[in-house]
Amino acid sequence: MAKKTKATKKSKKSAQKPALFTRLRKHFGTDPAKLPVIEQTFQSYDRANLHLTTEELLAGTEPALVGVVLPSQYSGVSLAKLAHPTTAVGYEEGPVEFVDVQLADEQRLACVKQGLYTFHDEDRPVAVLLSEEETYRPDKGLQIAVMAPDRETAERFSRKLVKGVRHGAAFRGKVLSVEQGCYGGTTVRFHKLPDVNRESLILPEELLIRIERQTMGLSKHAAKLKAAGRHLKRGILMHGKPGTGKTLSAMYLAAQMKGRTVLVLTGGAVGSIETACALARLLEPATIVLEDVDLIGTEREQQSVGANALLFELLNQMDGLGEDADILFILTTNRPDFLEPALAARPGRIDLAIEVPLPDETCRRRLFDLYSRGLKLELADLDVWVRRTNGVSAAFIRELLRKAAVLAAEADGTGPELVVTDQQFEEAIAELLVAGGPMTRALLGFASGTA
């Protein structure tokens, strides 16, 4: 009798089906191995967009969500495996794993890392499996598999997912940077643009108006221009000596055009230009800010073959965007001579090249006024210093005022305010030009023969 009981228990245990297979069969009311599956793969940086889309599509459907425990860390999972009682062995229901993902404005979002959803879409049973791509690459993509009673239902829901992810709710209208990993893979990071107002942008008024018309003006009237058959894709190249305000101007323009997605790249990260342009297409209207584009130069004796290839990749990507795409490229460089041959060979990529000059006398006076805020200047004649700084950059004047303020604090650290005199200016300018050496002068955009 005891032997019979043991045999019965053993028979029942062998007859038990894997829990995940049983869940699918119960949900669909039929053998899940006979049902169609539609699969999609997304980039790992789209995890937040995929999670937000899934949550939106499943709102009101009362979905059931369970975690999937793999037989080993080297095992992958798919709905095809879970749909058969033999291949589903070893896969167990477990807690749902989440990944904490960074969003804009220092917000975070807990996103499902791996899990099985079961729900009804328009009264049709549907199962969705979210997992990581089966690959040995360090940057695994995100795998989505949709199972339904018929292919049309599975395709319809899968296309809704793709459309939602491409809308990019987590990215749209934000400031992003795209970075390439050492071992492959792409990371998208969120940033905040500096608060730059027009008054702090010390440029000749006529020049600033031209820049604003080509960027902010086109963005403001985009719908009207598009209706009139005018192309919206454009590129602006700002060039000039170091420290003249090219980067500050680019940040000002990007911040003023509200509602646009901004992607910021530097010359060193231009290997991500293909990804950046792909994101810009999906998230337009968009602005791509590429600083120090000369770092990917064109002269073979100065740059590597890879750098040349990257520059032409940039031009190809600019050319590949549709004319009606509302995408603005803002490029900055200290060495336009590096870029001119390539740009001349591929005309039409840059619509406007503007030299950001060293500040003239009027602009230098405005710079002294701007950077002396919070200080008390007790100078014999400010005009003397305006004239003495002829030929220097805005960055040089800013550093001159900062260093003079430090010297003033050391001279009288007990007073209620910082009083800067001609003596502090003399000491500061000597420290910058003499003690700082040629490197400091070059870094601050100092022209020889001035001050």
Kindly state the average pLDDT of the residues 257-263: 93
Q: Does the CA dihedral 107-289-329-315 come out positive or negative? A: negative
Confidence of residue 446 (pLDDT cuts 50, 70, 90): low
Q: Does the CA dihedral 303-305-306-308 come out positive or negative? A: positive
Q: What is the pLDDT of residue 309?
A: 61
Q: What is the pLDDT of residue 301?
A: 44
Most confident of 53-67, 265-279, 334-348: 53-67
Same domain, residue pair 213 and 309: yes
Which of 30-34, 114-118, 303-307, 364-368 is the least confident region?
Answer: 303-307
Same domain, residue pair 148 and 264: no
pLDDT at 32 over 70: yes
Write out pLDDT tens, residues 161-197: 999 999 999 999 999 998 876 666 788 999 999 888 9
Same domain, residue pair 68 and 96: yes
Same domain, residue pair 369 and 342: no
State how far the Cα of 60 lies from the Cα of 41, in Å rounded to an integer: 25
**Are the beta carbons of 48 and 111 closer than 8 angstroms?**
yes
pLDDT at 298 over 50: no
| DSSP calls for 63-113 | -EEEEEE-SSTT----HHHHTSTTTTTT-EEEPPEEEEEE-GGG-EEEEEE
pLDDT at 262 over 90: yes
Question: Which value, to the nearest 10 degrees, does the dihedral of the CA atoms of residues 433, 436, 439, 442 take?
Answer: -30
Q: Does the CA dihedral 311-196-239-435 come out positive or negative? A: negative
Mean pLDDT of the chain: 86
Kindly state the average pLDDT of the residues 258-277: 81
Number of domains within the chain:
3
Query: Which residues does 193 contact at the CB level (< 8 Å), separation at least 6?
Result: 175, 251, 254, 255, 262
Q: What is the pLDDT of residue 317?
A: 80
Q: What is the pLDDT of residue 306?
A: 47
Kindly state the average pLDDT of the residues 308-326: 74
pLDDT at 156 over 80: yes
Q: Which residue has the higher pLDDT, 358 or 319?
A: 358
* Burial classification of residue 404, based on how many CB atoms lie within 10 Å of its CB (0-12 exposed, 13-18 middle, 19 or more buried): buried
Q: What is the pLDDT of residue 95?
A: 96
Range of the domain at 309: 189-355
pTM over 0.95, yes/no: no
Percent of the chain with pLDDT strictly greater than 90: 59
Cis peptide leading into 285, omega within 30 of 0?
Answer: yes
Same domain, residue pair 123 and 37: yes
> Residue 65, Cβ neighbours under 10 Å: how many?
15
Token pair recorded at residue 408: 């003033």
Q: Bridge-partner residues for 289, per DSSP?
A: 264, 330
Same domain, residue pair 215 and 74: no
pLDDT at 304 over 50: no
Kindly state the average pLDDT of the residues 406-411: 90
* Burial classification of residue 8, based on how many CB atoms lie within 10 Å of its CB (0-12 exposed, 13-18 middle, 19 or more buried): exposed
Confidence of residue 23 (pLDDT cuts 50, 70, 90): very high
DSSP label of 16 = P
Q: What is the CATH number of the domain that holds 397?
A: 1.10.8.60
State how far the Cα of 107 lies from the Cα of 125, in Å rounded to an integer: 34
Asked whether residue 449 is domain-assigned, the answer is: no
Q: What is the pLDDT of residue 342?
A: 74
Same domain, residue pair 370 and 324: no
- Helix ranges, 271-421 (H): 273-283, 305-320, 336-345, 361-371, 382-388, 394-411
Q: What is the pLDDT of residue 445?
A: 60
Kindly state the average pLDDT of the residues 389-400: 92
Domain-ending residue, one of 355, 371, 393? 355
Same domain, residue pair 77 and 160: yes
Confidence of residue 300 (pLDDT cuts 50, 70, 90): very low
Domain-ending residue, one of 355, 371, 395? 355
Asked whether residue 180 is domain-assigned, the answer is: no
Q: Which of 315, 309, 306, 317 has the alpha carbon at shortest distance from 340?
A: 315
Q: What is the CATH number of the domain that holds 233?
A: 3.40.50.300
State how far the Cα of 56 lies from the Cα of 103, in Å rounded to an integer: 17
**Are the beta carbons of 220 and 328 closer than 8 angstroms?**
no
Asked whether residue 450 is domain-assigned, the answer is: no
- CA 275 from chain centre, in angstroms, equals 10
Confidence of residue 338 (pLDDT cuts 50, 70, 90): confident
